[in-house]
Amino acid sequence: MSHTTYPLTGDVIARAVLTSEVISGCTLTIDGGGLTFSIASGRLRFVSTSNGRTTAKTLTYPGESGITPVFADGNNYIAINESFVVTQLAVNQDYADLEANIVIGVVITTPGLTPVFVTNEVNVSSINIPGALYDLSNTLNPIKKTGLVLTDSGNNDLEFLTTAGEALTLMRGALTTPNTPNVLIFAEATVTNYLYLYFDAAGTGINIDVEVEAQTDSYDDGSGTLASLLPNRWTVQRLYSFGDPDTIVVHYGQEQYTTLSGAILGMATESFIKFSPLDGALFWGYAILKNGATDLSDTAEVLIVNPRSIAGETNTTIQGTGVIP
C-alpha cells in the first residue's frame, strides 16, 4: 500500500476556506412602479480553480437599476459574474455553465412579470448556485425540522391531527414568510380533507378520491380499481402535505399483510411506487391500518409512525403501545 502526502500550500487553504460570495452590499430592491428591480453596489469575491490552482479576486460591483424580471409567476434567481453581467435563472434550469456566477437573491413575480418582492437570504456563502439547491431540494425537501407530529384527533374517530411545527424547504415559504423563505410554518390542525391516490391500470396515471376521513378497508393492487382488504389484513398508507395543514394527500397501501409486524416490515420492504409530484411534498408519516378500523387511537387497529425530525425530537417516532403480533 502506498500513499502520497500533499503539502499544505496557500492554494489548498484557499480552496478549503474560500468560496465565491457577496462580501457586502449587492442587495435587491423593487423600483418605483413595481415593474423592475435594482441591485445595489457592493463587493464580491470570486473564487476559481484552474490547473489545480485556486485564485480569489475581490471586485467592486457598481450596481444596476431598471432590470426587468425574465420569468413570470415564480422565482427569478439573480446572479452576477466577474464581468458584472446579471443573469436571471429559473429554479429548474441547468446550471452547469453558470458556476462562475454568484447568486445574490431572488425576485418573486406574479403573472405578467410584475415583481412582488425580493429576498436576499439565498446569498449563502457556501452555496450560491441554485442548481445545487434545486438538486438538494429534490432529494431531501421538504423535511421535518421541529414538531410536525402526525397523531389521532383525540375524538375516537378516523381523523388525523397534525401538530404545529416547521419544515425545511427550498423557497416554499417565500410568499408567506419572506424573511425565512426556506422554512414552512404549520399550525396545529385537525385534518378534514383527505386526497387518496391510487394508480390506474397502466400504472402511469393517478386516480384521486376526495374523502373526509381516513379510509381503512381498501388498498391499491395495481388493477386500476381499489381492492378490498381481506378480513383482519393490514395495509401501510403514506401521508403527505403541500402546506395546507388540514389537507393531507394519502397514498393507499400497495400491499396487504396478515400481521401488524409484517406491515411494519413492509414500510421498508414493500415495492412501493410513489406518484412523482409528491417528491415536492412534506412526508408526514405512515398509518398502518387494520381492515375496518374505526378509531385511529385504537392501538389494536392502528399504528401511526412518524419519521424523526432533523432536530432529533424523540416524540416523532412510533405512536401506539399495542402488542405487535
- CATH number, domain of 103, equals 2.60.40
| 252 within domain boundaries | yes
Residue that terminates a domain, selected from 103, 122, 137: 137
Q: Would residue 324 count as lying in a domain?
A: no
Looking at the structure, tell me whether residues 276 and 233 fall in a common domain.
yes
Q: What is the pLDDT of residues 2-43, one digit of tens each?
A: 333 333 333 333 333 456 778 888 888 888 767 888 899 998
Q: In this predicted model, what pLDDT tens digit does every residue of 203-239 receive, in sequence order?
A: 877 888 889 999 999 999 999 999 999 999 999 999 9
Angle ∠(117,245,219) on CA atoms, nearest 5:
130
Please check whether residues 150 and 293 belong to one and the same domain: yes
Contacts of 92 (CB under 8 A, 6+ apart): 134
Nearest residue to 75 (alpha-carbon basis) of 101, 44, 108, 45? 108
Q: Is residue 5 one of the residues assigned to a domain?
A: no
**3, part of any domain:** no
Pairing of strands 150-152, 102-110: unpaired
Identify the bridge partners of residue 50 per DSSP, sorted by sequence position: 53
Q: Is residue 123 part of a domain?
A: yes
223 lies in some domain? yes
Q: Is 290 helix (H, G, I), strand (E, B) or coil?
A: strand
User: Global pTM?
Assistant: 0.57
Closest CA to 222 of 200, 190, 249, 242: 200
Within this chain, do residues 148 and 94 fall inside the same structural domain, yes or no? no
> 34 with 117, same domain?
yes
Is the residue at 2 inside a domain? no
Full strand arrangement of the beta sheet holding 21-25: 21-25, 42-50, 53-61
Q: Render pLDDT for 135-193 as a digit per residue (tens, 0 to 9).
A: 555 555 577 888 899 999 999 999 999 999 988 876 666 555 666 767 888 899 999 98
* Among candidate residues 105, 122, 137, the one where a domain is terminated: 137
Range of the domain at 169: 143-319
List of residues 6+ apart from 227 with CB closer than 8 A:
218, 219, 220, 221
